[in-house]
Structure 1
Amino acid sequence: MKIACVGGGPAGLYFSILMKGVDPSHDVTVHERDPAGSTYGWGVTYSEALLRNLHATDPESARAVLDSSVRWDRWDHFRGDESRSEHYGEEGYGIGRHRLLDILAGRARGLGVRVEHEREVAGEDELADADLVVACDGVNSGLRERHAAHFGTDVAVGGNKYLWLGATRAFDAFVFSFQETAHGWIWCYGYPYAPDRSTCVVECAPRTWKGLGFDRADEGDTLARLEKIFADLLDGHSLLAQGDGHGGARWLNFRTVTNTTWSRDNLVLMGDAAHTTHFSIGAGTGLALTDAALLAAALLEGLPLPAALARYERQARVLVRSAQRAARRSARWYEDLPRYADLPMPQLVRLLSLRGSGLLPHVPPRLFYLAHRAGANAVGRVASRLARRAGSR
């Protein structure tokens, strides 16, 4: 096949690696509009499960990713002067987005994939000689927008404001910091991705954002105010805004993208062009790489192209549907933070971990916590009895 991937993010690069790695006769080109070395974002996070899948599909790139990653096994929560740590029996991983793309692009080139930077593709008609055009050009996909009516594209805009920043401190855990101000709550999610750097995502309600003056502040004032609010967390270190021409410290509203169909003739959507999930569940990179693996697997079955694209979409949708449901519930939990913020710290942390429940928004938080604890204790007692009984036998 002659394949053109429009977009040089993790999805397009990984898909090109899998296709070329299995069958070198494929002619694969990745077209990226930005210059080499230019990328939006600081670090990305991924799970142990994704790492196992990467090892199963392409061990060489998986080893390189792991070698360049920072890991943690603790989740720290802060609220004012209070703190609480949790261990969930698994590790989390962070890697710089720039480093991840370097690894994937290097691996792709080593397999014979052409990776062309500063090459913007406005429409698939520019790639008329391609057997397959993969639109992996992100949430603002130009190829998708050309046929938005066909794809049934819907974009739901979230209520809260958020800001994606870096920090010159490498946290030794995944951190949540909730801080109350005169204008309401503001919070930060942070995780390390390099020995001396972390990602910090700051979020708050529009009323708080405006009350704190962020609607009028320039980049310097924004960073200075946030450094003061999260001074204990940063411990004398600085926050960093994008320095790559993407507009610096930009406050955004998260946009959840869905599509009723993911393909049109020989054009197929992948990654954020097909779907997005709220950043609070950290699933975006994992879903993008999973899309790539599922699309490659469907094509390598040797099915006719329409059947292969239908299989890819059917299989990927199962995972995406579940992730988007969890993401919607997670986003709602944060939008409803005042409902939970004054709970005792153990209850706040536990309900944060249970925010994927569809029942939680409809039950008084303390009652939900008590019911969950009672249920967990009952299950624990039954498990202990069964264990003792098995041991006596």
Structure 2
Amino acid sequence: MKIIVIGGGPGALYFAISAKLRDAGHDITVIERDPPGATYGWGVVYWDDLLDALYGNDSESARELRAASVLWQQQEVRLRGKTAFYAGYGYSVGRAALLEILGQRAENVGVRIRYQDNVQDLSDFREADLIVAADGASSRVRQQDEYFGTTLTTGLNPYIWLGTDKVFSKFLFDFQETPAGWVWCHAYPSSSGISTFIVECQEQTWSRLGLGAMCSDDSRSALEEIFSDVLKGHRLISESRGQPARWQRFTEVRNEKWYHGNVVLLGDAAHTTHFTIGSGTRLAILDAIALAQSLYERGESLPHALDMYEERRRKPMYRTQAAARSSMAWYERVNLYTDRDSVAFAAAMAARQGSLPPWRHQLHLLEQLAPARVAHRWYETGERFYLARRRGEALRYTSFAPPRSPSAPADTGPHARPRTEELPTADARSVAV
């Protein structure tokens, strides 16, 4: 099968790898408009469930990804300088490192990658059996076809995606009260020497502070002052791919159909979820596995394969996008909860997708005590060791020793993944997604 993949992000590259591993006879070309190594954004967070799927699907790239990732084991919520804690661990990796790993792996298995090729339309690909549109939330391929039934919904809060040379040891949420209103950050380690630092606020706060009217340098300086207690003299980094970061509002993408003819949507081109649930890259990779597996099982009939792909992925996405909308709406009304103390505020964050059962709330209260946090961390270290050994992870990544640097969100913390989503299981050639 001759396959053209438009876009060179993680989902696009991982689909190319997955399809080629299942059938080396596929002729696959990935077309990316930017040069190698160019990427927007800083870090990506993920959990053990994604590692399970990655190791089951392609252990070679999974090992490389895990080696490039950092682990964190605690979440911290600060409000008015007071701190509340959540146990829980996850992983984070620099987006540039992720793309380098997947790009090299794709080339190693025989995928062609054409960089700096900006596709304007599909007329040059008439001979392709399948065209995979993995060109992001603003997909040009998707915009050329009304059949997909695209709905775009824009959130209310402005946010900006920055980096910092301060290396955080945990996932941090810091809420700062200014004369104009509340401004908060989501910060976590991304790679050696760099952390991701997302700043968000309500529209009226953004306008009163004049952040939208400032140039990039002035906006960055203003945020450094607001978060001086967190940054402790470190700088914020705005430049990415030679361009300063821009204030933006999140756009949720939904599509009535995920394919038309021989063109299929994947990742953010098909769906987006608000960054506060940390699932965008993870979902694109799961799409990639599902599409590759569907082609493998129904290779003789492309329409049946694409039907199977859409059926496998659409139902989980309904629930995930609903959870993401609830999370986004909570932050858009965050001022309704800031009259509470930090512990109660953090509990409200954790319950923004639905009330926590009483035992979860009691566990949250218990975790404010240092001995309980230490005990919970050692328990999770044992759990992590078991999961890692089960999937064949290298011993040097699964030590019982406390983590040297932080990891991704926990299932019950403020940055938890949606509790309603079905998680994948994986083996070498059959992935339930």
**With structure 1 as the length reference, what TM-score do the two structures score?**
0.90
**Aligned equivalent of 1:280:** 276
- How far, CA to CA, are the matches of 2:212 and 2:259 in structure 1? 39
Q: Is the 8 A contact 1:183 1:212 kept in 2?
A: yes
- Bigger-Rg structure (1/2): 1
Shift in CA distance, 2/99, structure 1 to aligned 2, threshold 3 Å: same
Q: Is the 8 A contact 1:167 1:240 kept in 2?
A: yes
Q: Is the 8 A contact 2:175 2:184 kept in 1?
A: yes
Matched AA of 1:118: Q
Higher relative contact order (CA 8 A, sep 6+): 2
- How far, CA to CA, are the matches of 1:286 and 1:139 in structure 2? 15
Q: For 1:29-178, list aligned pairs within 5 A.
A: 29-88=29-88, 91-147=89-145, 149-178=146-175
Shift in CA distance, 185/376, structure 1 to aligned 2, threshold 3 Å: closer
Shift in CA distance, 146/213, structure 1 to aligned 2, threshold 3 Å: same
Q: For 1:224-373, list aligned pairs within 5 A.
A: 224-246=221-243, 248-303=244-299, 304-357=301-354, 372-373=357-358
Q: Percent identity?
A: 43
Corresponding residue SS for 1:310:
helix
**Aligned equivalent of 1:13:** 13
Q: Is the 8 A contact 1:40 1:242 kept in 2?
A: no
Q: Is the 8 A contact 2:39 2:240 kept in 1?
A: no
Corresponding residue SS for 1:228:
helix
**Aligned equivalent of 1:187:** 184
- How far, CA to CA, are the matches of 2:31 and 2:349 in structure 1? 40
Please report how far the alpha carbon of residue 233 of structure 1 lies from its aligned counterpart in structure 2 after TM superposition.
1.0
Matched AA of 1:182: P
Matched AA of 1:161: P
Q: Is the 8 A contact 1:174 1:192 kept in 2?
A: yes
**Aligned equivalent of 1:384:** none
Q: Mark the runs of 5 or more structure 1 residues left unpaired by the alignment.
A: 361-368, 379-393
RMSD: 1.5
Corresponding residue SS for 1:280:
helix
Matched AA of 2:110: G
Matched AA of 2:352: R
The number of equivalent residue pairs is 362
**With structure 2 as the length reference, what TM-score do the two structures score?**
0.82
- How far, CA to CA, are the matches of 2:137 and 2:189 in structure 1? 25
- How far, CA to CA, are the matches of 1:277 and 1:312 in structure 2? 19
Please report how far the alpha carbon of residue 376 of structure 1 lies from its aligned counterpart in structure 2 after TM superposition.
5.8
- How far, CA to CA, are the matches of 1:341 and 1:119 in structure 2? 48
Q: Is the 8 A contact 1:222 1:249 kept in 2?
A: no
Measured against aligned partners, the alpha-carbon deviations of 1:210-233 in whole angstroms (never above 9, x if no partner) come to: 111102111111111101111111
Q: Mark the runs of 5 or more structure 2 residues left unpaired by the alignment.
A: 364-433
**Aligned equivalent of 2:429:** none
- How far, CA to CA, are the matches of 2:11 and 2:150 in structure 1? 19
Structure 1: which 4+ aligned runs deviate by more than 3 Å?
Answer: 372-378
